[in-house]
Amino acid sequence: MSQRQFLALHNNFPGRHPFSGIARTNALPCGSGAVVGGVYPTICLINHSCVPNAHNNWNGAEEHETIHAIRFIEKGAEITISYDRGGPSSARRAFLKESFGFTCTCSGCAVPASLLEASDSQRIRIQELDAAIGDPFRMMNSPQEGLQDC
């Protein structure tokens, strides 16, 4: 990545230290729980959607970030990934505003209030199941319950 490409990336923390602001805005963790991140000339240009068509993941064997389609993407359609950790729209919007400085208006957030309430309930349930499935103590002591949740 050239310095020109790096400095052209979005900076949600403008001020006296543009390099750290750009890194804070764009760096993707190099693995789950990693304390270091990578900034990429193309991947960092991918916009957010709460209903993304792709997923980013650290490839430890290749030592770089990879993008995987998670559903069919029409030719010419924008590739999107999720910047947030899921949950109800209010939590997603607050996180995106705080961390990236924008209010999400994606197709998942632009639904009528009546549908948004149902979507939020489903997303809360998904987070609960994800936490329960990922609980190593529960998997050791109650593997059947974990499998039922899956």
Residues of this chain that bind Zn ion (CB under 5 A): 50, 104, 106, 108-109
What is the b/e burial string over 114-132, where b = at least 16 CB atoms within 10 angstroms of the residue's CB? eebeebbeebeeeeeeeeb
Nearer to Zn ion, 20 or 105 (CB): 105
CB of 22 to Zn ion, least distance (A): 23
CB of 61 to Zn ion, least distance (A): 32
CB of 15 to Zn ion, least distance (A): 27
Per DSSP bridges, beta strands 64-69 and 37-38 are unpaired
Nearer to Zn ion, 47 or 141 (CB): 47
**End-to-end C-alpha distance for the chain, whole angstroms:** 41
Please choose, from the candidates 99, 89, 84, the residue with its C-alpha nearest in 3D space to the C-alpha of residue 124. Answer: 89
Rounded Cα distance, 48 and 4, in Å:
23
Nearer to Zn ion, 8 or 94 (CB): 94
Nearer to Zn ion, 38 or 92 (CB): 92
What single letter denotes the amino acid at residue 71?
R
Name the H helices within the chain. 3-7, 18-26, 89-100, 113-133, 136-141, 143-149
CB of 121 to Zn ion, least distance (A): 16
CB of 50 to Zn ion, least distance (A): 3
Nearer to Zn ion, 11 or 80 (CB): 80
